[in-house]
Amino acid sequence: MKGSLVVFPTILWLAGCSESPRKVEANGAPVPVNVVTVTAQSWPEEYEAMGTVRARTAAVVSSKVMGYVREVHASIGDHVAAQQLLVVLDAADMEAAYRRADAGREEARSAIPEAENGIAAARANLELARATFKRMGDLFASKSISNQEYDEATARLKAAEAAYAVAESKRAQLTSKIAQADQERSSAEIQRGYAQLRAPFAGVVTAKSVEPGNLATPGTPLLTVEREGTYRIEVPVEESRLAVIRSGSKVTVTIDALGRTLEAKVGEVVPSVDAASRAYLVKIDLPAITQLRPGIFGRGRFVVGIRPVLAVPCSAVIERGQVQSVYVVENATARMRIVTVGRKIADRAEVLSGLNAGEQVVSPIPVTLADSAKVEIRK
């Protein structure tokens, strides 16, 4: 009795750089394949640094004067407009000071008519004294009056001139007093304005440490407002990279929480190095993205040079979990070989180990290809 021939298909799972494994079968006929010769290529050398997204513009709202908080009109997450009222302090003392300054100003201004009338009266007396002195002078010249009478006319003229000068001086003093009262009133008005804390610009409230009844002291943070739409990521960079990372340098930023990769530029390099970490801070300006929020984690990749690498198409790489492999063509036979894959740029994958320059790998991998299968290279 003839034994039946049983064929056991060999099942493999093949995948590209980002594909799931595929089922393949080996057979006796050569499998037509395309091959790619492994060559050295110049790839940019990158340095990666991790950091945190921050608002490019943020303001801490604090009081310039001491006072109890009467009203709070904002909470964390609120969107506020420029100059929107946020916090109101109890301003009874400042209001009283303003009213006193205003009353002093009005008192000084009310004295203006009296001073003007004094000047007018002194001017009239002076004109009369001058006219009288002129007549007395003519009479004295013609020996019609005595020396005593002429001296008396001279004294009356001098007294009138002095009285007019005093009236003018009082008016000038009143003008100075009014100017001083205006300054005091303006100062009191400014102090009164400090009781109302407003948003410096349109943005969102990200921090709050004040409630009605709290005592606000000068410089103590009450609210933090951050301008929306203008964010940057701040990353610490090793001091050895200071010479190659400068303002204006291009950076590729990856925001894992959003699944986004962004093209950005270095906006600012803080030259001072932290003594503990031996790193300096690089601030990268980010494009406007609505989903960005302060505190999000991100990674910046800086191009710091060029280096040669061995690269193959992603379609030549099989990934099974953490294991990567390729098919190398040797003597018209496909040999599966374990490799270590590094970075991927576009449709190319860097091979760190397992291949040598000049070797040929199958790309793309046919679904019928199996290890040790005979292959026919397409021309």
The residue with tokens 């990934």 is 319
Q: Which domain holds residue 342?
A: 12-47+308-377
Residues 243 and 174 in one domain: no
* Local structure of residue 63 (DSSP, 8 states): B
257 and 203 in a single domain? The answer is no
pLDDT above 90: residue 62: yes
Q: Which of 136, 170, 193 is the last residue of a domain?
A: 193
pLDDT tops 90 at residue 247: no
Task: Identify the bridge partners of residue 323 per DSSP, sorted by sequence position.
Answer: 320
Residue 219: CATH number of its domain: 2.40.50.100
Each residue's pLDDT tens digit, 278-335:
888 999 998 888 778 888 899 998 888 888 888 899 988 998 888 999 999 998 899 9
pTM: 0.54
Q: Among all chains, which residue has been given the structure tokens 């298909």? A: 9
Same domain for 117 and 107: yes
Which CATH number fits the domain that encloses residue 286? 2.40.30.170
Q: Which residue has the higher pLDDT, 272 or 52?
A: 52
Helix (H, G, I), strand (E, B) or coil at 184: helix
User: What is the pLDDT averaged over residues 225-237?
Assistant: 88
How many CB atoms neighbour CB 160 within 10 A?
21
Q: Which of 266, 281, 304 is the last residue of a domain?
A: 304
pLDDT tens digit sequence for 15-57: 445 444 444 444 568 889 888 989 888 888 888 899 999 888 8
Cβ atoms of 220 and 62 within 8 Å: the answer is yes
Buried b (16+ CB within 10 A) or exposed e, 89-114: bbbeebeebbeebbebbeebeebeee
Same domain, 117 and 189: yes
Domain count, the chain: 4
Reference 8, options 376, 339, 370; nearest CA is 370
pLDDT of residue 20: 43
Mean pLDDT of the chain: 85
> 195 with 68: CB under 8 angstroms?
no
Q: Are residues 149 and 97 in the same domain?
A: yes
The token pair that represents 360 in the structure block = 């040929």
pLDDT for residue 17: 53
Q: What percent of the chain has pLDDT over 90?
A: 30
Instruction: Indicate whether 332 and 258 sit together in one domain.
Output: no
Q: What is the pLDDT of residue 11?
A: 34
Q: Counting every residue, how long is the chain?
A: 379
Q: 1 lies in a domain?
A: no
In this prediction, residue 141 carries a pLDDT of 87
In which band, very low, low, confident or very high, does the pLDDT at 188 lie, cut at 50, 70 and 90? confident
What CATH number is attached to the domain comprising 350? 2.40.420.20
Q: How confident is the model over 196-209, as a mean pLDDT? A: 92
Angle at Cα 324 formed by Cα 319 and Cα 330, nearest 5°? 115
